[in-house]
Every structure is written in structure tokens, then in C-alpha cells.
Amino acid sequence: MKRYFELISLGIVLTAVAGTASGQATVEHGEDWPDWAYGLLAPLSANDRTAPPCPADSRPIDCAYIGAPTPDDGIKRALPGTDLTFTRNEAYFDYGPADWYPGDHPPMPAIVANGRQEDGLRSCALCHYPNGQGKMENGHVAGLPADYILQQLEAFANGTRRSADIRKANTNEMAMIAARMSQQERQEVAEYFSSMPFRQMVRVIEADEAPQVRVTSNGLMLPLADEPMMPLGNRIIEVPDDPELTEMSRDPRGGFIVYAPIGSLARGEELVSSGGGRTIQCGLCHGPDQTGIGPIPSIAGRTASYTMRQLWDIKQGTRQSPIMTPIVADLSADDMLAIVAYLASLPPEGSSD
């Protein structure tokens, strides 16, 4: 367990300020803060790196964690089911990342495929993939209703959708991207991603232990090879099915394993289906299978980290939602953990698009 404790700094809990140019909200990190949902393994400490400053005149890329360039190893890598090959750096190119499976999606609009390099606006396909599936540290946009996507782009742009955790930089970058997009580009993005179905990408395992992990700057958890399992505790740990393909090649067909505490699924099903005396049943808005109704999005089959961040941000007031705010008001972090584990286990088939 030595490496595990070396990776986790237990630091003190601080009062944090979350927000960017469009507004700030003071959020206190309590003991129940779900650090795991933000791709973090410990409470906010005095030594933690926080998201870069992101004033109103920033370029979107200036709001992101940007490390030293990775030397290109020149190795052409392959994925199952495609004859295309790309190096690691080609897969990660900010303004035209690898498109492994062109047949999986319609022709990409320029803003999705390439972004706008001159403005520091990275391509949508970089984080969300050309097929819109996304990963645990960002959003899953395939199959969402076009009107809903447009609403969320406006919320990012006007400051009513922010991360409650000041360590999560890519939410700030997303807000700046949305603010810099033209109305035509927003429309193209919404129509493009809504045109593709969202596919199952999560497998939930109830367990007492989970793999030891390392975490990338934006919150992707990757298991440490040849290390013993660690106690899971009262949290969720999500790792890719194939860490090598996800990390080095950005496999857009890759999935995730969700390790959730034992009993989470039964408790989550109770809360989702009946409210459990804590809230209302989710299906009243999201449909009996949680796959969406009209402009209301599907919430089935997404990574647990993503859904937890949304619920927690709403509860903290950094993601403003007049409909959802009273619904989450009486939910504890433990309630939300159970809810998102159960929702992650559901098939997303039939979601509205």
C-alpha cells in the first residue's frame, strides 16, 4: 500500500472559491465532499494545484492545465476494428485529434473536428471524442436533445454552469469555449452530437476494494499495474476497461469499470424509483427507464463521476437549475453516490435525441 499513500495527500479542508470571469461562488469543502467525482483522491489541501485563472478576456486554452509538450515517440498505434494508425501525439492533437472510426459518426462540423487554433479553442472531439461518448472526467454528449445541448452551452457561457471544485480546470475551459462559439457553431454542435445514439460504456461492480490509481491533470483515473487493491471506502473509483488504449490512443469505443460500495445499487434503485423519502422519483422527468423525455436528457448509463459532479454542483449552487435544486436539496453525498452508481448500471438505449 506504500505507493497508494504516497499518491494521496490528506491535507486540510479549506474554504474554496469556485468560478471564472462570469461570476464566483464561495463553496466550503465539508467532510462529505465527493472528491472522487472530480477525479481526486483527497480533500482540498493548502498545497493543491487549483485551476488556472480564467478572466473574461482569456482564450479557452489558457484556462486549462497545460503541461510541457510530450515528445512524440513516433510509434504508430492501432485499435481493434480499424486499419488506421496514429501516434500518441496525433491522437491528442488539440486542433484535429485522431478520428479512429470515421464510420461511427456523420461528417464532423469544423468546430467539432478542429476547433479554432488561432483563438485557442480546442476541438470538441478532443475531450468528447468524434462520437460524443466522452470519458469520466468530461461530459457524455452523444444522444442528448439538441435543445438541451444549446441550453447547456448558454449556461456555460453566461456563468450559470460552473464546477464547485476549484481544482477542476476543464469546466472553466468549457465555459470559455461556449462563450467564444458563434450561434451557428453552437447549432452545428447541438445537431451533430444529438444525431448519434449514446451507447453503454459502464460496468458497475460492487466491492470492498478497488485498484490503486494515478490521476491525470483533468481527473482521469488510471489503475496502477502490479499493485495490490486498496480499500474502496465510501466512494466510487472508475477506471477504463483498457487503460493503455484509453490513455495512449484515446479509444472512443472504450468503456469504464465503476467500483461502488456494496449495497449501492439497491439503495440507488430505491431512491431513483421512489425517492426513498428524500426526494422525488427520477422517472417523473427523465422517463420510466431514465432515458429521457423530449428535451429532458437521458441519465442512464453515464459514468458515475460525471453524474455525481452534476448533482453536487447543483447542490452547491455553481450549476444553477431551478428544477433540480429543490430535488437535490435533501440528498446527502451518500444518497447521491448510490443514485449515480445505479444510474450508471442502466442501459441507455432508447434515449431521446
Give the integer Cα–Cα distance in Å for 68 and 76: 22
Give the integer Cα–Cα distance in Å for 215 and 135: 13
**Quick one: pLDDT band at residue 26, thresholds 50, 70, 90?**
low
Is 60-194 the same fold as 2-6+199-345? yes
Name the CATH architecture for the domain at 2-6+199-345. Orthogonal Bundle (1.10)
Residue 2 has pLDDT above 80, yes or no: no
Percent pLDDT > 90 in the chain is 88
Give the integer Cα–Cα distance in Å for 61 and 54: 10
Residue 19 has pLDDT above 80, yes or no: no
Average pLDDT over residues 51-75: 94
End-to-end CA distance of the chain: 45
Residue 8 has pLDDT above 90, yes or no: no
pLDDT reported for residue 47: 87
333 neighbors 33 (Cβ within 8 angstroms) = yes
152 neighbors 171 (Cβ within 8 angstroms) = no
124 neighbors 149 (Cβ within 8 angstroms) = no
Average pLDDT over residues 139-167: 97
pLDDT reported for residue 12: 24
Residue 28 has pLDDT above 60, yes or no: yes
Burial state string for 106-142 with b = 16 or more CB within 10 A and e = fewer than 16: eebbebbbbbbeeebbbbbbbbbbbbbbbbbbbbbbb
pLDDT reported for residue 27: 83
Question: Domain 60-194's class?
Answer: mainly alpha
pLDDT reported for residue 9: 30
204-245: pLDDT as tens digits: 999 999 999 999 998 999 999 999 999 999 999 999 999 999
246-280: pLDDT as tens digits: 999 999 999 999 999 999 999 999 999 999 999 99
DSSP of 14-45: -EEEEEETTEEEEEE--TT--GGGGT-SS---
Give the integer Cα–Cα distance in Å for 102 and 88: 18
281-308: pLDDT as tens digits: 999 999 999 999 999 999 999 999 999 9
Backbone angles phi, psi at 210, to 5 degrees: -145, 165
Of 17-26, 49-58, 158-167, least confident by mean pLDDT is 17-26
Domain boundaries, the chain: 2-6+199-345, 60-194
Give the integer Cα–Cα distance in Å for 261 and 211: 13
Residue 352 has pLDDT above 70, yes or no: no
Residue 16 has pLDDT above 50, yes or no: no
